[in-house]
Amino acid sequence: MKVRLGMIGGGQGAFIGGVHRMAAALDGLYELVAGAFSSDAEKSKATGVLLGLAPERVYNSYIELIEQEKQRPAHERVQVISIVTPNHLHFEPAKLALENGFHVILDKPMTFSLAEAKQLQQVAASSGGLFCLTHTYTGYPMVKEAKQLVAAGTLGTIRKVYVEYPQGWLSSFEEGTDNKQAAWRTDPARSGVAGAMGDIGTHAFNLLEYVSGLQVIKLCADINIVVPGRQLDDDGAVLLKLSNGASAVLMASQIAAGEENNVRIRVYGEKGGLEWQQADANTLLVKWLNKPTEIRRTGAGYVSSFAQHNTRTPAGHPEGYLEAFANLYRNFALTLQARLTGQTAPAEAADYPSIEEGVRGMAFIESVIASGKSEQKWTDFTN
Amino acid sequence: MKVRLGMIGGGQGAFIGGVHRMAAALDGLYELVAGAFSSDAEKSKATGVLLGLAPERVYNSYIELIEQEKQRPAHERVQVISIVTPNHLHFEPAKLALENGFHVILDKPMTFSLAEAKQLQQVAASSGGLFCLTHTYTGYPMVKEAKQLVAAGTLGTIRKVYVEYPQGWLSSFEEGTDNKQAAWRTDPARSGVAGAMGDIGTHAFNLLEYVSGLQVIKLCADINIVVPGRQLDDDGAVLLKLSNGASAVLMASQIAAGEENNVRIRVYGEKGGLEWQQADANTLLVKWLNKPTEIRRTGAGYVSSFAQHNTRTPAGHPEGYLEAFANLYRNFALTLQARLTGQTAPAEAADYPSIEEGVRGMAFIESVIASGKSEQKWTDFTN
Amino acid sequence: MKVRLGMIGGGQGAFIGGVHRMAAALDGLYELVAGAFSSDAEKSKATGVLLGLAPERVYNSYIELIEQEKQRPAHERVQVISIVTPNHLHFEPAKLALENGFHVILDKPMTFSLAEAKQLQQVAASSGGLFCLTHTYTGYPMVKEAKQLVAAGTLGTIRKVYVEYPQGWLSSFEEGTDNKQAAWRTDPARSGVAGAMGDIGTHAFNLLEYVSGLQVIKLCADINIVVPGRQLDDDGAVLLKLSNGASAVLMASQIAAGEENNVRIRVYGEKGGLEWQQADANTLLVKWLNKPTEIRRTGAGYVSSFAQHNTRTPAGHPEGYLEAFANLYRNFALTLQARLTGQTAPAEAADYPSIEEGVRGMAFIESVIASGKSEQKWTDFTN
Amino acid sequence: MKVRLGMIGGGQGAFIGGVHRMAAALDGLYELVAGAFSSDAEKSKATGVLLGLAPERVYNSYIELIEQEKQRPAHERVQVISIVTPNHLHFEPAKLALENGFHVILDKPMTFSLAEAKQLQQVAASSGGLFCLTHTYTGYPMVKEAKQLVAAGTLGTIRKVYVEYPQGWLSSFEEGTDNKQAAWRTDPARSGVAGAMGDIGTHAFNLLEYVSGLQVIKLCADINIVVPGRQLDDDGAVLLKLSNGASAVLMASQIAAGEENNVRIRVYGEKGGLEWQQADANTLLVKWLNKPTEIRRTGAGYVSSFAQHNTRTPAGHPEGYLEAFANLYRNFALTLQARLTGQTAPAEAADYPSIEEGVRGMAFIESVIASGKSEQKWTDFTN
Domain spans in chain B, listed from the N-terminal domain onward: 3-136+333-353, 140-313+360-373
Question: What confidence tier does C367 reach under pLDDT thresholds 50, 70, 90?
Answer: very high
The amino acid that residue D286 corresponds to is V
Task: Confirm or reject contact between A301 and chain D (CB < 8 A).
Answer: yes
Residue A331 CA to residue C347 CA, distance in Å, equals: 62
How high is the pLDDT of residue A88? 94
pLDDT, tens digit, for every residue of C182-241?
999 999 999 999 999 999 999 999 999 999 999 999 999 999 999 999 999 999 999 999
> Residues of A114-144 as b/e, b for ≥16 C-beta within 10 angstroms?
bebbbebbebbeebebbbbbbbbbbbbbbbb
How high is the pLDDT of residue D31? 96
Q: Find the closest chain A residue to D301 by CA distance.
A: A290
Say yes or no for a CB contact (<8 Å) between B317 and A261: yes
CATH 3.40.50.720 describes domain C3-136+333-355: yes
pLDDT, tens digit, for every residue of A277-301?
999 999 999 999 999 999 999 999 9
Which DSSP letter does residue C239 get? Answer: E
Q: Please check whether residue A207 is in contact with residue A267, taking contact to mean a CB–CB distance below 8 angstroms.
A: no
pLDDT, tens digit, for every residue of A181-197?
999 999 999 999 999 99
Q: For chain B, what is the mean pLDDT?
A: 97
Q: Answer yes or no: is pLDDT of D13 > 90.
A: no
pLDDT, tens digit, for every residue of A90-121?
999 999 999 999 999 999 999 999 999 999 99
Residue C357 CA to residue C351 CA, distance in Å, equals: 12
Q: Please check whether residue A354 is in contact with residue A361, taking contact to mean a CB–CB distance below 8 angstroms.
A: no
How high is the pLDDT of residue D339? 97
Hey, which chains touch B, using 3+ CB pairs under 8 Å? A, C, D
From the list D52, D262, D320, which residue is nearest C323 (CB)? Answer: D320
For the domain covering C141-320+360-373, report its CATH number: 3.30.360.10
D196–chain C nearest CA distance, Å = 17
For the domain covering D3-136+333-353, report its CATH number: 3.40.50.720
Q: Answer yes or no: is pLDDT of A144 > 80.
A: yes
Helix or strand (DSSP H, E) at B165: strand B158-166
pLDDT, tens digit, for every residue of D177-236?
999 899 999 999 999 999 999 999 999 999 999 999 999 999 999 999 999 999 999 999
Question: What confidence tier does C383 reach under pLDDT thresholds 50, 70, 90?
Answer: confident
Task: Confirm or reject contact between C312 and chain D (CB < 8 A).
Answer: yes
How high is the pLDDT of residue D144? 98
Q: What is the mean pLDDT of residues A337-365?
A: 97
Question: What confidence tier does A61 reach under pLDDT thresholds 50, 70, 90?
Answer: very high
- 3-class DSSP assignment, residue A74: coil
Task: Confirm or reject contact between B297 and chain C (CB < 8 A).
Answer: yes
Say yes or no for a CB contact (<8 Å) between B268 and D253: yes
DSSP-assigned states of every residue in D91-128 = HHHHHHHHHTT-EEEEPSS--SSHHHHHHHHHHHHHH-
Q: Name the CATH topology of A3-129.
A: Rossmann fold (3.40.50)
Residue A306 CA to residue A90 CA, distance in Å, equals: 30
Say yes or no for a CB contact (<8 Å) between C273 and A168: yes
How high is the pLDDT of residue D15? 83
From the list D261, D279, D313, which residue is nearest C314 (CB)? Answer: D261
Task: Confirm or reject contact between C307 and chain B (CB < 8 A).
Answer: no
Hey, which chains touch D, using 3+ CB pairs under 8 Å? A, B, C
What are the φ and ψ backbone dihedral angles of D100, each rounded to 5 degrees?
-100, 15
Share of chain C above pLDDT 90, in %: 97
Residue D320 CA to residue B270 CA, distance in Å, equals: 30
Q: How far is CA D120 from CA D63, D110, D131, in A?
A: 17, 9, 10
From the list C290, C296, C297, which residue is nearest B301 (CB)? Answer: C290
Task: Confirm or reject contact between D292 and chain A (CB < 8 A).
Answer: yes
Bond prior to B166 in cis (omega within 30° of 0): no
Hey, which chains touch A, using 3+ CB pairs under 8 Å? B, C, D
pLDDT, tens digit, for every residue of A33-46?
999 999 999 999 99
Say yes or no for a CB contact (<8 Å) between B295 and C294: yes
Mutant choice from D19, D26, D32 vs C, greatest count of C C-beta within 10 A: D26
> In angstroms, how far apart are the furthest CA atoms of chain A?
65
Say yes or no for a CB contact (<8 Å) between B297 and C292: yes
Q: Tell me the sheet residues that pair with B183.
A: none
Q: What is the mean pLDDT of residues C45-57?
A: 95
Helix or strand (DSSP H, E) at C18: helix C16-26
The residues, any chain, with a CB within 8 Å of residue D204's CB and separated by 6 or more, are D163, D164, D165, D250, D251, D252, D263, D265
Q: Answer yes or no: is pLDDT of C13 > 80.
A: no
How high is the pLDDT of residue A377? 98
Which DSSP letter does residue A292 get? Answer: P
Q: What is the mean pLDDT of residues D246-257?
A: 98
Q: Answer yes or no: is pLDDT of D383 > 80.
A: no
Hey, which chains touch C, using 3+ CB pairs under 8 Å? A, B, D
Q: Answer yes or no: is pLDDT of C14 > 80.
A: no
Q: Answer yes or no: is pLDDT of A14 > 90.
A: no
How high is the pLDDT of residue A383? 77
Task: Confirm or reject contact between B315 and chain D (CB < 8 A).
Answer: no
Q: What is the mean pLDDT of residues D93-102?
A: 98
Q: Answer yes or no: is pLDDT of D14 > 80.
A: no
Question: What confidence tier does B172 reach under pLDDT thresholds 50, 70, 90?
Answer: very high
Q: For chain A, what is the mean pLDDT?
A: 97
How high is the pLDDT of residue C95? 98
The residues, any chain, with a CB within 8 Å of residue D178's CB and separated by 6 or more, are none
Q: Answer yes or no: is pLDDT of B382 > 90.
A: no
Question: What confidence tier does D354 reach under pLDDT thresholds 50, 70, 90?
Answer: very high
How high is the pLDDT of residue A58? 97
Say yes or no for a CB contact (<8 Å) between D318 and C279: yes
pLDDT, tens digit, for every residue of C294-345?
999 999 999 999 999 999 999 999 999 999 999 999 999 999 999 999 999 9
| CATH number among 3.40.1210.10, 3.40.630.10, 2.30.110.10, 3.30.360.10, domain B140-313+360-373 | 3.30.360.10
Q: A-chain residues within 8 Å CB-CB of D296?
A: 292
Say yes or no for a CB contact (<8 Å) between C27 and D25: yes
Q: Find the closest chain A residue to C222 by CA distance.
A: A239
Task: Confirm or reject contact between B322 and chain A (CB < 8 A).
Answer: yes
Q: C-chain residues within 8 Å CB-CB of A171?
A: 270, 289
How high is the pLDDT of residue B244? 98
Q: How many CA atoms lie within 13 A of B364 on its CB side?
A: 33
Q: Answer yes or no: is pLDDT of B15 > 90.
A: no
Q: For chain C, what is the mean pLDDT?
A: 97
From the list B159, B258, B374, which residue is nearest D255 (CB)? Answer: B159
Where does chain A show beta strands of DSSP type E? 3-8, 30-36, 80-83, 103-106, 131-133, 158-166, 216-224, 235-242, 247-253, 264-269, 272-277, 283-288, 293-297, 379-380
Residue A85 CA to residue A8 CA, distance in Å, equals: 7
Question: What confidence tier does D366 reach under pLDDT thresholds 50, 70, 90?
Answer: very high
Q: Answer yes or no: is pLDDT of A77 > 90.
A: yes
Q: Answer yes or no: is pLDDT of B14 > 90.
A: no
Q: Answer yes or no: is pLDDT of B352 > 90.
A: yes
> In angstroms, how far apart are the furthest CA atoms of chain B?
65
Q: D-chain residues within 8 Å CB-CB of A286?
A: 292
Q: Tell me the sheet residues that pair with A293.
A: D295
Q: B-chain residues within 8 Å CB-CB of D269?
A: 257
Share of chain B above pLDDT 90, in %: 97
pLDDT, tens digit, for every residue of A237-267?
999 999 999 999 999 999 999 999 999 999 9
Mutant choice from A294, A298, A303, A304 vs D, greatest count of D C-beta within 10 A: A294
Q: Answer yes or no: is pLDDT of A71 > 90.
A: yes
Residue B129 CA to residue B355 CA, distance in Å, equals: 11
Which DSSP letter does residue C136 get? Answer: G
For the domain covering A138-314+360-373, report its CATH number: 3.30.360.10
B192: phi > 0 → left, psi -120 to 50 → alpha, else beta; which? Answer: left
Task: Confirm or reject contact between C226 and chain A (CB < 8 A).
Answer: yes
Say yes or no for a CB contact (<8 Å) between B255 and D162: no
pLDDT, tens digit, for every residue of C249-303?
999 999 999 999 999 999 999 999 999 999 999 999 999 999 999 999 999 999 9
Q: What is the mean pLDDT of residues B297-323?
A: 97
A138–chain D nearest CA distance, Å = 22
Say yes or no for a CB contact (<8 Å) between A237 and C239: yes
CATH 3.40.50.880 describes domain D139-315+360-373: no
How high is the pLDDT of residue D73? 97
Q: Answer yes or no: is pLDDT of B13 > 80.
A: no
Q: What is the mean pLDDT of residues A70-95?
A: 97
From the list C256, C270, C375, which residue is nearest A376 (CB)? Answer: C375
Q: C-chain residues within 8 Å CB-CB of B293?
A: 294-295, 297
